[in-house]
Amino acid sequence: MDKRIAVITGAAKGIGKAIAQKMVKDNCQTILVDVDKANGESLAEELGDAAKFILCDISNDKEVNNLFNSVVKEFGGVDVIVNNAGIIRDNVIWKMPVEDFDKVVDINLKGTWLMCKVAGTLMRDQKRGRIVNIASRAWLGNRGQSNYSASKAGVVGLTRVLALELGKYGVLVNAIAPGLINTPLTQKLSEEVQEKLIQAQPTKSMGQPEDIANAVAFLCDEKTQFITGQTIYVDGGKSIGAGI
């Protein structure tokens, strides 16, 4: 079977790394996109010929255009885009610097929009494709995350619009909203804070990056033909109302 071409942003570590590993396992030629050159190149070497690392700041439109020009030139097109790259700069709103709001929105929302703009145009012309945007359960609201929650709410809205615009061209667009996932970020939290967050979960457990990767793989599977514009929560049930 010919390999599909998958582009994963924020692929160097954490959830993005797990998604990249899953895409390679599912016979995709996988493009690892990140600003973390060291970890990105290390992962590409680990995954072998099925993976290639490209350094790219997704908030820069010229770099995004260069990224896709390079991919199309080498591989002929793009079949799957997973917009996973994101950052956090948490604080209550009265203590949050304006630049922290701008930076989070610039990467999480504008960067995702730029990737979707170029990839969506390519996929429209190809008349096929899958776009999966990694949102967050936090789009429903989290204390101290007025910037992050707003950016991820924007990703959910963007996903719905693109599903409407691209559906007739054979392009399916969905979002995944992770909850508490065992990543390098959560590992930095104290054991006390981690346990408090876990106890707020209906499952009383923390998810793994592979849980997100499996959901992405389902949405990108060629057998999945009639799901678009949806946000799938992978959050141990937290979105249904569990609270601390």
Residue-wise pLDDT tens for the chain (244 aa)?
479 999 999 999 999 999 999 999 999 999 999 999 999 999 999 999 999 999 999 999 999 999 999 999 999 999 999 999 999 999 999 999 999 999 999 999 999 999 999 999 999 999 999 999 999 999 998 889 999 999 999 999 999 999 999 999 999 999 999 999 998 878 888 889 889 889 888 899 999 999 999 999 999 999 999 999 999 999 999 888 755 4
Domain boundaries, the chain: 4-233
Question: Distance (Å, rounded) from C-alpha 113 to C-alpha 230?
Answer: 17
Residue 218: CA atoms inside 13 Å, Cβ hemisphere, count? 14
Task: Write down the pTM of the prediction.
Answer: 0.95
* Strand order across the 129-134 sheet: 51-55, 28-34, 4-9, 80-83, 129-134, 171-178, 231-234
For the domain spanning 4-233, the CATH number is: 3.40.50.720
* Rg (the chain; Cα; Å): 17
Integer distance in angstroms from the first to the last C-alpha of the chain? 48
- Pair 6, 75: CB distance under 8 Å: no
Q: Among residues 68, 101, 113, 148, which one is catalytic?
A: 148
User: CB–CB of 73/66 below 8 Å?
Assistant: no
Question: Is 233 a catalytic site residue?
Answer: no
Q: Which residues of 81-110 are buried (b: 16+ CB within 10 A; e: fewer)?
A: bbbbbbbbbeeeeeebeeebbebbbbbbbb
Pairing of strands 4-9, 80-83: parallel
Residues facing residue 55 across a β-bridge: 34
